[in-house]
Amino acid sequence: MKKCAAVPFTTLCITFLLAFGLVSCDTSSESNASLARHNGLPLVGGSAAGDLGPPVGEPIIAMLTSPPNVPPPIRRNTPAKLIVHLEMREVEMPISEGVTYTFWTFGGTVPGSFIRVRQGDTIEFNLANHPSSKMPHNIDLHAVTGPGGGASSSFTAPGYESQFTFKALNPGLYVYHCATAPVGMHVANGMYGLILVEPPEGLPPVDREYYVMQGDFYTVGKYREKGHQEFDMQKAIDENATYVLLNGSEGALVGDNALSANTGETIRLFIGNGGPNLISSFHVIGEIFDKVYTEGGSHFQENVQTTLVPAGGAAIVEFRVEVPGTLLMVDHAIFRAFNKGALGMIKVDGPENPAIYTGREVDSVYLGDKVNDLSIVAEVTSAFTTTGEVTPAQQIAAGEVLFSGTCSVCHQLDGSGLAGVFPPLAGSDFFLEDRIRAIDIVLNGMLGPVTVNGQIYDSVMPPMSQLNDDEVAYILSYALNSWGNDGGSVSAAEVTERRASTSRPPGAAQ
Ligand SMILES: [Cu+2]
């Protein structure tokens, strides 16, 4: 016979007694019931319920996938012995257009290979470190019950392999990461991924599943500064991220790499956050999450706009897409999306559904320079770095892309401005009179009255000093040679000189 220990429970028991005239307070049957249901939700029983006995049948080699792909759902109804082979490699890959970084990876990608197992499975984990690696690495899987999550059994020098075995007791979506000192540095270099432990009955069927994981990156050079970039330990300690990325690169989920779906389909995203420092306010512009398995656990919340994904945490989000167009996945800490790269796309195809939404694309409102092909900007810059020369035509082509993403919101795509508010650049006597002054305006902004073609404008242009010197040169060269303007060019060296000899207003990027 159990006792009525806690106060609210006592109250409950008393109510129970009064209602049914019972004399004892036996809750043994009730504790079973409360294991099954709590506030109307089924409980899954935690790790105590996760040991489904010894593996049944021959060992199975686990199928791992690279992001954004997810292995197919598990159809077994018995626990198995699953053999995982994962190789750690240090690889140079693009982090942005024209920018490379040496990532440390699980399986050659950032995030690392997706692992899918079933609750109760016994997992033999084989971790290899490629001979070309410079560092030792290991793995801490948050799905492991045991000290270090496997880290202490998996320390692996270059050219070696290690093995440990664990039973996946708790269902859920879990982060794994390297835990070799300095841990922060290994994580910042991309050493994380997700492991899904499916409940025995599996997850409800959906039409598409994808794998998206955020991470913050710290480079010595500024955002989009071209060439190879090194890790910056001080920026990492200061939590001053240069890039915040979905799937390890600015281009990973945009343009041709966008995720795809058709109207009427339900999408499930396995969202992770490797950190090392920043939490993610994960949001899809143009959708509402029908379900969110908060923090990757067993219960879902419904009808959610933005879900918080902690560093070293995960979430499963599901939504049905009703109308065609491009959905944007972002960290809604929004400067990260538009100035640090935390942006991905889902292209939804299908017939318009004006009863639900009348318009089509969100691209022009939100996307800025991502509508266009930024690779042209990178190509021009790297041509300059290798040959020391950029043709005027190349400069102008790169400038057009950047202008449309940066200046056209105010000065308009055709440079005509907006009467009384934004002065024109097309045929502007003021602009064409002094191209060096134009550099200063772009870098430092402009305020107070200015007369352009006889019209007075008295407004504010914010400084655009977040653009690098190449970018400012391309934009101004494009503007000088467009819309009937009479030509000329601006060089990156001239921008460098003006940046050094003028000062930005307080608060502007330097
Ligand atoms: Cu490592």
Distance, C-alpha 214 to centroid of its chain? 3
pLDDT at 43: 73
From residue 378, give the alpha-carbon distance in Å to each of 398, 472, 474: 8, 14, 12
* 159 Cα–ligand 1 center, Å: 14
Question: Higher model confidence: residue 24 or residue 274?
Answer: 274
pLDDT at 26: 40
- Give the tens place of pLDDT for each residue, 87-110: 999 999 999 988 999 999 999 999
Q: Which residues are near ligand 1, the ion (C-beta closer than 5 Å)?
A: 137, 178, 180, 186, 191
* 150 Cα–ligand 1 center, Å: 13
* 110 Cα–ligand 1 center, Å: 13
* 309 Cα–ligand 1 center, Å: 22
* 258 Cα–ligand 1 center, Å: 29
- Give the tens place of pLDDT for each residue, 447-477: 999 999 999 999 999 899 989 899 999 999 9
pLDDT at 44: 75
* 135 Cα–ligand 1 center, Å: 7
From residue 343, give the alpha-carbon distance in Å to each of 114, 211, 339, 371: 21, 14, 10, 12
- Average pLDDT score over the chain: 88
* 118 Cα–ligand 1 center, Å: 26
pLDDT at 370: 58
pLDDT at 269: 98
- pTM assigned to the model: 0.82
* 272 Cα–ligand 1 center, Å: 18
296, two tokens:
């990757």
* 307 Cα–ligand 1 center, Å: 28
* 177 Cα–ligand 1 center, Å: 8
Q: How confident is the model at residue 42 (pLDDT cuts 50, 70, 90)?
A: low
Q: Phi and psi for 335 in degrees, rounded to 5? A: -60, -30
- Look up tokens 């004892």; give the residue: 24
* 132 Cα–ligand 1 center, Å: 14
**Highest mean pLDDT (candidates 79-93, 222-236, 367-381):** 79-93
* 270 Cα–ligand 1 center, Å: 23
pLDDT at 371: 54
Question: Higher model confidence: residue 468 or residue 42?
Answer: 468
pLDDT at 369: 58
* 155 Cα–ligand 1 center, Å: 9
* 335 Cα–ligand 1 center, Å: 29
* 340 Cα–ligand 1 center, Å: 24
* Interval 489-496 mean pLDDT: 94
pLDDT at 197: 97
* Interval 314-335 mean pLDDT: 95
Percent of the chain predicted with pLDDT > 90:
72
* 141 Cα–ligand 1 center, Å: 13
* 138 Cα–ligand 1 center, Å: 6
Distance between CA atoms of residues 173 and 195, nearest Å: 6
- Give the tens place of pLDDT for each residue, 473-485: 999 999 999 999 9
Distance between CA atoms of residues 399 and 473, nearest Å: 8
Q: How confident is the model at residue 207 (pLDDT cuts 50, 70, 90)?
A: very high
DSSP state at residue 191: -
* 282 Cα–ligand 1 center, Å: 26
Residues with Cβ < 8 Å from 289, sequence gap 6 or more?
303, 304, 305, 307, 317, 318, 319
Whether the predicted pLDDT of 11 surpasses 90: no
pLDDT at 45: 77
- Give the tens place of pLDDT for each residue, 374-428: 677 777 777 676 677 778 888 898 899 889 888 988 899 999 999 989 999 999 9
Distance between CA atoms of residues 133 and 175, nearest Å: 23
Whether the predicted pLDDT of 23 surpasses 90: no
- Look up tokens 């955002």; give the residue: 223
Residues with Cβ < 8 Å from 229, sequence gap 6 or more?
95, 99, 100, 101, 219, 220, 221, 242
* 336 Cα–ligand 1 center, Å: 25
pLDDT at 357: 87
